[in-house]
Amino acid sequence: MTVKLAIIYYSSYGTNYEMATIAAETAKAAGAEVRLLKAPETAPADVVASVDAWKAHAESTAGIPEATAEDMEWANAYLISAGTRFGVMASQMRAFIDTLGGVWSKGGLANKPVSAMTSAQNTHGGQESTLLSLYTTVMHWGGFVVAPGYTDEVIFKTGGNPYGYSHTQGAKFTDEVKLAIGHQARRLVEIAGKLSGSDA
């Protein structure tokens, strides 16, 4: 069985979009079938339009499909990336997750590996608590948390977060950052492949 990976992100200004794109490229190279998807925007259109960077990012990514319950049923692995807001995931991602009761109730989210990434405006802006809160949801699904842990030395070089890659908004996407995101994506694909009996 091929690894079918749904990479679902929410991004106001582009940071988590960039992270998700890097992960998607790596996962495809590792043999996975990938759907790059965004959580639907819940902020009013006039609010988005009132912030130049937010509006510009929304317009530049308008062609990326919004994630649906069908995508969650299709996938046998998930990589979720969303910024932190007051120590938990952005409300847009939470709102999407809260639409999945129907899929969850029939076991459609169970027994699937899940990994997560996040970002914040400053280094200690709640990244770890955001990832842990998302993994709590995964446990309710009956999914398997696939954190990067300390399974590659690049983790130590990019902040040392064992729960998932976290990016400081405005920081450059260096080669080491790309390696850290890529390592997490490949690890997820590898574990998903083992669970599904795939060679991916």
What pLDDT score was predicted for residue 199?
54
Q: Would the pLDDT of 83 be above 80?
A: yes
For residues 194-199, average pLDDT: 77
- Show Cβ contacts of residue 157 under 8 Å, excluding neighbours closer than 6 positions: 176, 180
What pLDDT score was predicted for residue 91?
96
**Nearest one of 7, 61, 1, 2 to 185, comparing CA atoms:** 7
CA distances from 172 to 17, 107, 119, 120, 135 (A): 14, 40, 13, 14, 27
β-partners of residue 88 are 85
pLDDT digits (tens, 9 = 90+) for 84-106: 999 999 999 999 999 999 999 99
Residue 3 backbone phi and psi in degrees, to 5: -70, 120
Write out the two tokens for 161.
């977060």
Provide the pLDDT confidence category of residue 198 given band limits of 50, 70 and 90: low
Lookup result for tokens 């970002």: 119
For residues 63-74, average pLDDT: 98
What pLDDT score was predicted for residue 196?
83
**End-to-end Cα distance, the chain:** 9
- pTM (predicted TM-score): 0.95
**Nearest one of 26, 9, 42, 23 to 119, comparing CA atoms:** 9
**Nearest one of 129, 131, 121, 42 to 79, comparing CA atoms:** 131
Kindly report the CATH number that applies to the domain delimited by 4-196.
3.40.50.360
What pLDDT score was predicted for residue 121?
87
pLDDT digits (tens, 9 = 90+) for 2-43: 999 999 999 999 999 999 999 999 999 999 999 999 999 999
Provide the pLDDT confidence category of residue 200 given band limits of 50, 70 and 90: low
β-strand pairing of 33-38 with 4-10: parallel
What pLDDT score was predicted for residue 1?
72
pLDDT digits (tens, 9 = 90+) for 113-159: 999 999 998 887 889 999 999 999 999 999 999 999 999 999 999 98
Eight-class DSSP state of 41: P
> Helix H segments across the chain?
15-29, 45-49, 52-60, 69-74, 91-97, 101-105, 127-141, 154-157, 175-196
Residue 133 CA to residue 198 CA, distance in Å, equals: 30
What pLDDT score was predicted for residue 99?
97
